[in-house]
Amino acid sequence: MMPKTRDPNQSDEDRHEITPTQLFTAFSHERRQQTLAYLAQKPAAIALGDLAEYIAIKEERPSYEWYERVLTELAHSHLPHLQDAGLVHYDAADETVELAVDRRVVAPYLRLAGYDDA
């Protein structure tokens, strides 16, 4: 059984199935893991800047320059990748991001990756 993304406006038949390859590819980069771990703790959409700040701090490089680098990489690489996989909803215009699947879908993978609070 494949995990399915949630969208209250779609029927069960119309939901996107996430393949194991998409999940493993999503978890192949540490920033995507950090993104999913952070979003799994949040009940609603968050500002992209908050996510970038969290990751910069986790990487122990809390400078403005590093924050900008993380922000750019998230916006242009990681979030579109996670959105294409059906794991996040990323609104580039509003600069918000939220988990698109139930956190139970990603929790086992996060625990395997060392995120014990998932």
Of residues 65 and 2, more confidence is placed in: 65
pLDDT in tens, 59-90: 999 999 999 999 999 999 999 999 999 999 99
Q: Which residue has the tokens 């590093």?
A: 66
Q: Is 32 a domain residue?
A: yes
Count of the separate structural domains present in the chain: 1
Q: What is the side-by-side strand order in the sheet with 96-99?
A: 46-47, 96-99, 88-91
Q: Is 97 a domain residue?
A: yes
Mean pLDDT (the chain, rounded)? 88
Q: Does the structure show a pLDDT above 70 at 31?
A: yes
Q: Is 31 a domain residue?
A: yes
d(Cα 74, Cα 51) in Å, to the nearest integer? 9
d(Cα 76, Cα 53) in Å, to the nearest integer? 16
> 42: domain CATH number?
1.10.10
Q: Is 7 a domain residue?
A: no
Q: Is 103 a domain residue?
A: yes
Q: Is 2 a domain residue?
A: no
* Residue 67 near residue 50, CB atoms below 8 Å: no
Q: Does the structure show a pLDDT above 50 at 30?
A: yes
Query: Domain range holding 74?
Result: 19-112
